Structure 1
Amino acid sequence: MRRFLAGTTLIALLTAACAAGPARPARTSGAPACDPALDTAITAWAAAGFSGSIAILKDGAFECRAAYGMADAAARRPNTPETVFSIGSVTKAVTAAAILRLADEGRLSLDDRVGRILPRLRGPVAEATVGQLLLHTSGLNGTHGDDYERLSPDAAMAAIGTLKLAFPPGTGYVYSNSGYTLLALVVERLSDRGYRDYLGSAVLRLPGGRVAGGFWDGRPAAGRPHPAPYARGRRRMRRPVVRR
Protein backbone atom coordinates (compact mmCIF):
# COMPACT_ATOMS: atom_id res chain seq x y z
CA MET A 1 0.00 0.00 0.00
CA ARG A 2 2.88 2.38 0.63
CA ARG A 3 3.89 4.22 -2.50
CA PHE A 4 6.14 7.14 -3.33
CA LEU A 5 5.09 10.07 -5.40
CA ALA A 6 7.54 11.61 -7.83
CA GLY A 7 7.13 15.07 -9.21
CA THR A 8 8.71 17.35 -11.73
CA THR A 9 8.05 20.55 -9.80
CA LEU A 10 5.37 21.73 -7.38
CA ILE A 11 4.10 25.19 -6.56
CA ALA A 12 6.89 27.17 -4.91
CA LEU A 13 8.51 23.88 -3.88
CA LEU A 14 12.20 23.20 -4.27
CA THR A 15 12.66 19.57 -5.27
CA ALA A 16 16.22 18.48 -4.59
CA ALA A 17 18.20 15.62 -6.01
CA CYS A 18 20.05 13.48 -3.50
CA ALA A 19 23.41 15.10 -4.11
CA ALA A 20 24.89 18.16 -5.68
CA GLY A 21 26.87 18.28 -8.84
CA PRO A 22 30.35 19.82 -9.16
CA ALA A 23 31.51 22.88 -7.25
CA ARG A 24 30.11 25.12 -9.98
CA PRO A 25 26.81 23.43 -10.84
CA ALA A 26 25.34 23.78 -14.30
CA ARG A 27 21.97 25.49 -14.49
CA THR A 28 19.25 25.30 -17.12
CA SER A 29 16.52 27.93 -16.90
CA GLY A 30 13.04 27.29 -18.20
CA ALA A 31 10.75 29.92 -19.67
CA PRO A 32 9.75 32.22 -18.12
CA ALA A 33 12.94 32.99 -16.25
CA CYS A 34 12.95 33.45 -12.51
CA ASP A 35 13.29 36.82 -10.84
CA PRO A 36 16.99 37.76 -10.97
CA ALA A 37 17.25 38.12 -7.19
CA LEU A 38 15.73 34.67 -6.65
CA ASP A 39 17.92 33.17 -9.38
CA THR A 40 21.03 34.68 -7.78
CA ALA A 41 20.08 33.30 -4.38
CA ILE A 42 19.42 29.77 -5.64
CA THR A 43 22.54 29.82 -7.82
CA ALA A 44 24.52 30.58 -4.67
CA TRP A 45 22.72 27.74 -2.91
CA ALA A 46 23.56 25.43 -5.82
CA ALA A 47 27.22 26.38 -5.50
CA ALA A 48 26.96 25.27 -1.86
CA GLY A 49 25.42 21.92 -2.78
CA PHE A 50 21.77 22.23 -3.86
CA SER A 51 20.78 20.28 -6.97
CA GLY A 52 17.20 20.30 -8.19
CA SER A 53 14.47 22.34 -9.83
CA ILE A 54 12.01 25.06 -8.90
CA ALA A 55 8.60 26.13 -10.19
CA ILE A 56 6.42 29.01 -8.99
CA LEU A 57 2.82 29.45 -10.10
CA LYS A 58 0.73 32.60 -9.74
CA ASP A 59 -2.96 32.83 -10.65
CA GLY A 60 -2.78 29.45 -12.36
CA ALA A 61 0.16 30.26 -14.62
CA PHE A 62 3.88 29.57 -14.36
CA GLU A 63 5.76 32.58 -13.10
CA CYS A 64 9.12 30.85 -12.94
CA ARG A 65 10.68 27.52 -13.92
CA ALA A 66 14.36 26.72 -13.59
CA ALA A 67 16.78 23.91 -12.77
CA TYR A 68 20.13 23.90 -11.04
CA GLY A 69 23.00 21.47 -10.58
CA MET A 70 23.78 18.17 -12.25
CA ALA A 71 21.45 15.26 -12.87
CA ASP A 72 24.48 13.08 -13.55
CA ALA A 73 27.83 14.51 -12.49
CA ALA A 74 29.88 11.81 -14.22
CA ALA A 75 28.14 12.36 -17.56
CA ARG A 76 28.08 16.16 -17.05
CA ARG A 77 24.30 16.08 -17.60
CA PRO A 78 22.56 19.04 -15.95
CA ASN A 79 19.11 19.07 -14.43
CA THR A 80 16.35 20.69 -16.50
CA PRO A 81 12.84 21.84 -15.59
CA GLU A 82 11.60 18.52 -17.03
CA THR A 83 13.78 16.31 -14.82
CA VAL A 84 11.74 14.12 -12.46
CA PHE A 85 12.89 13.49 -8.90
CA SER A 86 12.03 11.15 -6.09
CA ILE A 87 10.28 13.26 -3.47
CA GLY A 88 10.24 10.59 -0.74
CA SER A 89 8.42 11.86 2.33
CA VAL A 90 7.42 15.10 0.62
CA THR A 91 4.58 12.77 -0.42
CA LYS A 92 3.25 13.45 3.08
CA ALA A 93 2.73 17.13 2.26
CA VAL A 94 0.77 16.21 -0.86
CA THR A 95 -1.31 13.69 1.11
CA ALA A 96 -1.98 16.36 3.72
CA ALA A 97 -3.15 18.72 0.95
CA ALA A 98 -5.59 16.04 -0.21
CA ILE A 99 -6.94 15.61 3.34
CA LEU A 100 -7.40 19.36 3.77
CA ARG A 101 -9.16 19.57 0.41
CA LEU A 102 -11.56 16.82 1.48
CA ALA A 103 -12.18 18.77 4.68
CA ASP A 104 -12.93 21.90 2.65
CA GLU A 105 -15.36 19.83 0.58
CA GLY A 106 -17.15 18.78 3.77
CA ARG A 107 -16.30 15.10 3.42
CA LEU A 108 -14.49 14.92 6.75
CA SER A 109 -13.55 16.91 9.84
CA LEU A 110 -10.05 17.02 11.25
CA ASP A 111 -11.65 16.05 14.57
CA ASP A 112 -13.06 12.80 13.12
CA ARG A 113 -11.72 9.61 14.67
CA VAL A 114 -9.85 7.66 12.02
CA GLY A 115 -11.57 4.48 13.20
CA ARG A 116 -14.93 6.00 12.29
CA ILE A 117 -13.78 6.61 8.72
CA LEU A 118 -11.93 3.29 8.48
CA PRO A 119 -14.22 0.91 10.43
CA ARG A 120 -11.95 -2.09 9.78
CA LEU A 121 -9.07 -0.41 11.60
CA ARG A 122 -8.46 -1.94 15.03
CA GLY A 123 -6.08 -1.14 17.87
CA PRO A 124 -5.55 2.00 19.92
CA VAL A 125 -4.77 4.20 16.90
CA ALA A 126 -8.42 3.94 15.84
CA GLU A 127 -9.17 6.56 18.51
CA ALA A 128 -6.73 9.08 17.02
CA THR A 129 -8.16 11.95 15.01
CA VAL A 130 -7.39 12.86 11.43
CA GLY A 131 -5.77 16.06 12.68
CA GLN A 132 -3.51 14.11 15.05
CA LEU A 133 -2.37 11.87 12.20
CA LEU A 134 -1.58 14.98 10.15
CA LEU A 135 0.54 16.47 12.92
CA HIS A 136 2.29 13.22 13.98
CA THR A 137 0.66 13.44 17.41
CA SER A 138 -1.38 10.22 17.17
CA GLY A 139 1.19 8.27 19.20
CA LEU A 140 1.85 5.79 16.39
CA ASN A 141 5.36 4.43 16.65
CA GLY A 142 7.19 1.84 14.56
CA THR A 143 6.49 0.74 11.00
CA HIS A 144 4.04 -1.60 9.32
CA GLY A 145 6.16 -2.60 6.31
CA ASP A 146 9.04 -1.79 4.00
CA ASP A 147 8.82 0.95 1.38
CA TYR A 148 8.32 -1.47 -1.50
CA GLU A 149 6.27 -4.07 0.35
CA ARG A 150 2.93 -4.55 -1.37
CA LEU A 151 0.03 -4.46 1.08
CA SER A 152 -3.70 -4.37 0.45
CA PRO A 153 -5.68 -1.75 2.40
CA ASP A 154 -6.94 -4.43 4.79
CA ALA A 155 -3.44 -5.83 5.30
CA ALA A 156 -2.05 -2.34 5.94
CA MET A 157 -4.77 -1.56 8.49
CA ALA A 158 -4.27 -4.93 10.19
CA ALA A 159 -0.52 -4.31 10.51
CA ILE A 160 -0.96 -0.73 11.74
CA GLY A 161 -3.61 -1.85 14.22
CA THR A 162 -1.03 -4.01 16.00
CA LEU A 163 1.37 -1.11 16.59
CA LYS A 164 1.63 0.18 20.13
CA LEU A 165 1.23 3.86 20.82
CA ALA A 166 4.15 5.75 22.31
CA PHE A 167 1.68 7.97 24.19
CA PRO A 168 -2.08 8.66 24.24
CA PRO A 169 -3.20 10.48 21.08
CA GLY A 170 -2.69 14.21 21.28
CA THR A 171 -0.25 14.20 24.19
CA GLY A 172 3.10 14.10 22.37
CA TYR A 173 4.90 13.99 19.03
CA VAL A 174 6.59 11.18 17.11
CA TYR A 175 7.16 11.11 13.35
CA SER A 176 5.10 8.34 11.74
CA ASN A 177 5.04 6.90 8.24
CA SER A 178 2.19 4.60 9.29
CA GLY A 179 0.03 7.57 10.21
CA TYR A 180 0.27 8.90 6.69
CA THR A 181 -0.54 5.49 5.24
CA LEU A 182 -3.79 5.75 7.22
CA LEU A 183 -4.38 9.22 5.79
CA ALA A 184 -3.87 7.84 2.27
CA LEU A 185 -6.48 5.20 3.06
CA VAL A 186 -8.83 7.95 4.29
CA VAL A 187 -8.41 9.73 0.94
CA GLU A 188 -8.98 6.41 -0.82
CA ARG A 189 -12.23 5.83 1.07
CA LEU A 190 -13.75 9.31 1.02
CA SER A 191 -12.81 10.55 -2.44
CA ASP A 192 -14.89 9.38 -5.36
CA ARG A 193 -11.77 8.69 -7.44
CA GLY A 194 -9.37 6.81 -5.18
CA TYR A 195 -6.07 8.07 -3.76
CA ARG A 196 -4.00 8.15 -6.94
CA ASP A 197 -6.72 9.59 -9.16
CA TYR A 198 -7.78 12.15 -6.56
CA LEU A 199 -4.24 13.46 -6.16
CA GLY A 200 -3.76 13.60 -9.93
CA SER A 201 -7.05 15.34 -10.64
CA ALA A 202 -7.61 17.53 -7.59
CA VAL A 203 -4.23 18.23 -5.97
CA LEU A 204 -1.41 17.95 -8.51
CA ARG A 205 -3.08 19.44 -11.58
CA LEU A 206 -0.93 21.97 -13.44
CA PRO A 207 -1.94 24.60 -16.00
CA GLY A 208 -2.82 22.98 -19.32
CA GLY A 209 -4.00 19.75 -17.72
CA ARG A 210 -0.61 18.23 -16.86
CA VAL A 211 0.05 16.80 -13.42
CA ALA A 212 3.06 17.55 -11.24
CA GLY A 213 3.82 13.96 -10.33
CA GLY A 214 2.84 10.33 -10.37
CA PHE A 215 3.53 6.93 -8.86
CA TRP A 216 6.30 4.49 -9.59
CA ASP A 217 7.23 1.26 -7.83
CA GLY A 218 10.64 0.72 -9.42
CA ARG A 219 9.61 -1.11 -12.60
CA PRO A 220 9.82 -0.52 -15.49
CA ALA A 221 12.73 1.89 -15.56
CA ALA A 222 11.70 5.52 -15.42
CA GLY A 223 11.28 6.81 -18.95
CA ARG A 224 11.57 10.54 -18.39
CA PRO A 225 14.85 12.36 -17.64
CA HIS A 226 15.86 11.67 -14.07
CA PRO A 227 18.95 12.18 -11.92
CA ALA A 228 21.51 9.51 -11.19
CA PRO A 229 21.10 8.12 -7.67
CA TYR A 230 23.38 9.69 -5.08
CA ALA A 231 23.46 9.86 -1.32
CA ARG A 232 24.89 12.54 0.93
CA GLY A 233 28.61 12.89 0.47
CA ARG A 234 28.11 12.18 -3.27
CA ARG A 235 28.32 8.43 -2.70
CA ARG A 236 26.34 6.53 -5.32
CA MET A 237 23.34 4.63 -3.99
CA ARG A 238 22.32 1.17 -5.12
CA ARG A 239 18.58 1.83 -5.14
CA PRO A 240 17.00 4.05 -7.83
CA VAL A 241 15.80 7.40 -6.57
CA VAL A 242 13.14 8.24 -9.13
CA ARG A 243 9.71 6.82 -8.39
CA ARG A 244 6.67 7.76 -10.38
Structure 2
Amino acid sequence: MSGHSEDPVAEESKRFFTFFNLSMALAAITGLEIVIIYVQAFESKVIIGVLFTTSVLKFFGVVWWFMHLRWDKILNTVLFLMGLVIALGTYFAVIYMADHPIDIENFEVTALEDAWKAGSDYEVGAYVKHEESYYQAKSAHTAGESFDVNSTTEGEKPSFWMKVEGIPHKISWKVNQADLIEINSRKPGNPFFHMYQPEDTEKVQGTVIRVLAKAATSSDFRLKARSEAFWGETE
Protein backbone atom coordinates (compact mmCIF):
# COMPACT_ATOMS: atom_id res chain seq x y z
CA MET A 1 0.00 0.00 0.00
CA SER A 2 1.12 3.48 -0.66
CA GLY A 3 -0.08 6.65 0.89
CA HIS A 4 0.90 10.15 1.71
CA SER A 5 0.64 12.54 4.62
CA GLU A 6 0.44 16.31 4.72
CA ASP A 7 3.72 18.15 4.58
CA PRO A 8 4.43 19.17 8.22
CA VAL A 9 6.41 22.21 7.09
CA ALA A 10 3.57 23.45 4.89
CA GLU A 11 1.06 22.77 7.64
CA GLU A 12 3.11 24.70 10.19
CA SER A 13 3.62 27.55 7.73
CA LYS A 14 -0.12 27.74 7.07
CA ARG A 15 -0.81 27.76 10.80
CA PHE A 16 1.75 30.51 11.35
CA PHE A 17 0.20 32.77 8.72
CA THR A 18 -3.23 32.11 10.20
CA PHE A 19 -2.01 33.39 13.56
CA PHE A 20 -0.11 36.27 11.96
CA ASN A 21 -3.03 37.51 9.87
CA LEU A 22 -5.41 37.21 12.81
CA SER A 23 -2.97 39.09 15.05
CA MET A 24 -2.75 41.91 12.53
CA ALA A 25 -6.55 42.04 12.25
CA LEU A 26 -6.95 42.25 16.04
CA ALA A 27 -4.27 44.94 16.23
CA ALA A 28 -5.99 46.93 13.46
CA ILE A 29 -9.36 46.71 15.23
CA THR A 30 -7.77 47.83 18.51
CA GLY A 31 -6.12 50.76 16.71
CA LEU A 32 -9.49 51.72 15.23
CA GLU A 33 -11.04 51.67 18.70
CA ILE A 34 -8.32 53.95 20.07
CA VAL A 35 -8.85 56.43 17.22
CA ILE A 36 -12.62 56.41 17.71
CA ILE A 37 -12.32 57.02 21.46
CA TYR A 38 -9.72 59.80 21.38
CA VAL A 39 -10.45 61.57 18.08
CA GLN A 40 -14.17 61.87 18.89
CA ALA A 41 -15.31 61.83 15.27
CA PHE A 42 -18.81 60.60 16.19
CA GLU A 43 -21.48 61.16 18.81
CA SER A 44 -21.25 59.24 22.08
CA LYS A 45 -24.03 56.78 21.23
CA VAL A 46 -22.42 55.99 17.87
CA ILE A 47 -19.06 55.44 19.57
CA ILE A 48 -20.55 52.91 22.00
CA GLY A 49 -22.24 51.08 19.12
CA VAL A 50 -19.03 50.89 17.08
CA LEU A 51 -16.98 49.74 20.08
CA PHE A 52 -19.53 47.06 20.89
CA THR A 53 -19.35 45.78 17.30
CA THR A 54 -15.56 45.71 17.28
CA SER A 55 -15.46 43.89 20.62
CA VAL A 56 -17.75 41.19 19.20
CA LEU A 57 -15.52 40.90 16.11
CA LYS A 58 -12.47 40.51 18.32
CA PHE A 59 -14.23 37.87 20.40
CA PHE A 60 -15.03 35.76 17.32
CA GLY A 61 -11.47 36.33 16.12
CA VAL A 62 -10.13 34.88 19.35
CA VAL A 63 -12.52 31.92 19.04
CA TRP A 64 -11.23 31.29 15.52
CA TRP A 65 -7.74 31.53 16.91
CA PHE A 66 -8.63 28.92 19.53
CA MET A 67 -9.92 26.55 16.86
CA HIS A 68 -6.54 26.64 15.08
CA LEU A 69 -4.44 26.57 18.24
CA ARG A 70 -1.84 23.93 18.96
CA TRP A 71 -1.25 23.88 22.67
CA ASP A 72 2.25 22.44 22.31
CA LYS A 73 3.40 25.85 21.08
CA ILE A 74 4.02 28.16 24.05
CA LEU A 75 4.12 31.29 21.88
CA ASN A 76 0.74 30.48 20.36
CA THR A 77 -0.71 29.94 23.82
CA VAL A 78 0.63 33.29 25.06
CA LEU A 79 -0.68 35.13 22.00
CA PHE A 80 -4.07 33.48 22.38
CA LEU A 81 -4.35 34.47 26.04
CA MET A 82 -3.31 38.05 25.22
CA GLY A 83 -5.95 38.25 22.50
CA LEU A 84 -8.57 36.83 24.84
CA VAL A 85 -7.75 39.39 27.55
CA ILE A 86 -7.91 42.28 25.04
CA ALA A 87 -11.21 41.09 23.57
CA LEU A 88 -12.89 40.54 26.95
CA GLY A 89 -11.42 43.77 28.32
CA THR A 90 -12.86 45.78 25.43
CA TYR A 91 -16.24 44.08 25.76
CA PHE A 92 -16.63 44.77 29.48
CA ALA A 93 -15.23 48.30 29.08
CA VAL A 94 -17.95 49.06 26.53
CA ILE A 95 -20.61 47.64 28.86
CA TYR A 96 -19.29 49.84 31.68
CA MET A 97 -19.30 52.91 29.44
CA ALA A 98 -22.88 52.21 28.38
CA ASP A 99 -24.00 51.79 32.01
CA HIS A 100 -22.12 54.88 33.25
CA PRO A 101 -22.79 57.61 30.67
CA ILE A 102 -21.67 61.18 31.14
CA ASP A 103 -24.67 63.33 31.97
CA ILE A 104 -24.27 67.09 31.52
CA GLU A 105 -26.99 68.10 33.96
CA ASN A 106 -26.66 71.85 33.51
CA PHE A 107 -24.73 74.27 31.30
CA GLU A 108 -25.54 77.99 31.23
CA VAL A 109 -23.94 81.03 29.66
CA THR A 110 -25.52 84.35 30.65
CA ALA A 111 -24.45 87.97 30.31
CA LEU A 112 -24.10 89.82 33.62
CA GLU A 113 -26.65 92.61 33.93
CA ASP A 114 -25.95 93.78 37.48
CA ALA A 115 -26.59 97.52 37.43
CA TRP A 116 -24.55 99.82 39.66
CA LYS A 117 -26.41 100.83 42.84
CA ALA A 118 -25.58 103.63 45.24
CA GLY A 119 -24.66 102.46 48.72
CA SER A 120 -23.91 98.88 47.64
CA ASP A 121 -20.81 97.00 48.76
CA TYR A 122 -18.56 95.76 45.96
CA GLU A 123 -15.69 93.29 46.16
CA VAL A 124 -12.51 93.34 44.11
CA GLY A 125 -13.24 92.10 40.58
CA ALA A 126 -16.99 92.66 40.70
CA TYR A 127 -18.66 93.68 37.43
CA VAL A 128 -21.41 96.26 37.07
CA LYS A 129 -23.30 97.84 34.22
CA HIS A 130 -23.74 101.60 34.12
CA GLU A 131 -25.15 103.61 31.22
CA GLU A 132 -24.72 100.74 28.71
CA SER A 133 -21.06 100.25 29.65
CA TYR A 134 -19.43 97.64 31.88
CA TYR A 135 -16.98 98.28 34.69
CA GLN A 136 -14.89 96.13 37.01
CA ALA A 137 -14.11 97.02 40.62
CA LYS A 138 -10.39 97.54 41.19
CA SER A 139 -10.77 97.49 44.97
CA ALA A 140 -13.35 96.62 47.59
CA HIS A 141 -15.50 99.62 48.50
CA THR A 142 -18.94 100.94 49.27
CA ALA A 143 -20.52 102.91 46.44
CA GLY A 144 -21.29 106.57 46.98
CA GLU A 145 -24.38 108.50 45.94
CA SER A 146 -23.28 108.89 42.33
CA PHE A 147 -21.22 106.74 40.00
CA ASP A 148 -17.75 108.09 39.31
CA VAL A 149 -14.78 106.16 38.06
CA ASN A 150 -12.64 108.25 40.42
CA SER A 151 -14.90 108.56 43.46
CA THR A 152 -13.78 110.69 46.37
CA THR A 153 -13.33 109.04 49.77
CA GLU A 154 -11.97 110.95 52.76
CA GLY A 155 -10.39 113.58 50.56
CA GLU A 156 -8.63 111.06 48.32
CA LYS A 157 -9.44 110.02 44.78
CA PRO A 158 -8.77 106.31 44.44
CA SER A 159 -9.66 104.62 41.16
CA PHE A 160 -12.49 102.27 42.12
CA TRP A 161 -13.67 101.25 38.67
CA MET A 162 -12.05 100.23 35.40
CA LYS A 163 -14.03 100.26 32.18
CA VAL A 164 -14.25 96.87 30.46
CA GLU A 165 -14.07 96.47 26.69
CA GLY A 166 -16.59 93.71 26.14
CA ILE A 167 -19.44 92.01 27.98
CA PRO A 168 -18.83 89.96 31.15
CA HIS A 169 -20.55 86.56 31.15
CA LYS A 170 -21.19 83.97 33.82
CA ILE A 171 -20.47 80.42 32.61
CA SER A 172 -21.61 77.60 34.88
CA TRP A 173 -21.80 73.82 34.53
CA LYS A 174 -22.81 70.68 36.39
CA VAL A 175 -21.79 67.18 35.26
CA ASN A 176 -22.48 63.87 37.01
CA GLN A 177 -18.89 62.62 36.51
CA ALA A 178 -15.79 63.94 34.75
CA ASP A 179 -12.02 64.19 35.13
CA LEU A 180 -11.71 66.90 32.48
CA ILE A 181 -13.98 69.76 31.39
CA GLU A 182 -13.43 71.73 28.19
CA ILE A 183 -15.55 74.71 27.13
CA ASN A 184 -15.04 76.52 23.85
CA SER A 185 -16.92 79.00 21.69
CA ARG A 186 -18.59 77.79 18.51
CA LYS A 187 -18.16 81.20 16.90
CA PRO A 188 -14.71 82.45 15.78
CA GLY A 189 -15.84 86.05 16.23
CA ASN A 190 -16.39 85.50 19.95
CA PRO A 191 -13.34 83.43 21.03
CA PHE A 192 -13.28 81.59 24.34
CA PHE A 193 -11.62 78.47 25.76
CA HIS A 194 -11.57 77.08 29.28
CA MET A 195 -10.16 73.78 30.56
CA TYR A 196 -10.78 72.46 34.07
CA GLN A 197 -9.49 69.30 35.79
CA PRO A 198 -11.47 68.70 39.00
CA GLU A 199 -9.94 66.88 41.96
CA ASP A 200 -13.28 65.25 42.77
CA THR A 201 -14.58 63.52 39.63
CA GLU A 202 -18.11 62.93 40.95
CA LYS A 203 -20.85 65.59 40.64
CA VAL A 204 -18.54 68.13 39.06
CA GLN A 205 -19.76 71.73 39.01
CA GLY A 206 -18.15 75.10 38.63
CA THR A 207 -18.50 78.71 37.54
CA VAL A 208 -16.24 81.18 35.77
CA ILE A 209 -16.79 84.81 34.79
CA ARG A 210 -15.15 85.96 31.58
CA VAL A 211 -15.36 89.06 29.40
CA LEU A 212 -16.46 88.21 25.86
CA ALA A 213 -16.36 90.36 22.77
CA LYS A 214 -20.08 89.89 22.11
CA ALA A 215 -23.21 88.85 23.96
CA ALA A 216 -23.63 85.07 23.95
CA THR A 217 -25.86 82.26 25.22
CA SER A 218 -25.35 78.56 25.95
CA SER A 219 -26.03 77.63 22.32
CA ASP A 220 -22.95 79.60 21.27
CA PHE A 221 -20.67 77.33 23.32
CA ARG A 222 -19.73 73.67 23.47
CA LEU A 223 -18.97 71.83 26.71
CA LYS A 224 -17.06 68.55 26.54
CA ALA A 225 -16.63 66.31 29.57
CA ARG A 226 -14.26 63.35 29.79
CA SER A 227 -14.51 60.43 32.17
CA GLU A 228 -11.99 57.57 31.88
CA ALA A 229 -11.23 58.25 28.20
CA PHE A 230 -14.94 58.51 27.33
CA TRP A 231 -16.36 61.85 26.21
CA GLY A 232 -19.74 63.50 26.38
CA GLU A 233 -20.70 66.92 25.07
CA THR A 234 -23.55 69.37 24.68
CA GLU A 235 -25.52 69.25 21.45
Structure number with greater CO (CA < 8 Å, separation at least 6) is: 1
Instruction: Please indicate the TM-score interval, normalised by the length of the shorter structure.
Output: under 0.3
More strand by share: 2
TM-score scaled to structure 2, two decimals? 0.24
TM-score scaled to structure 1, two decimals? 0.23
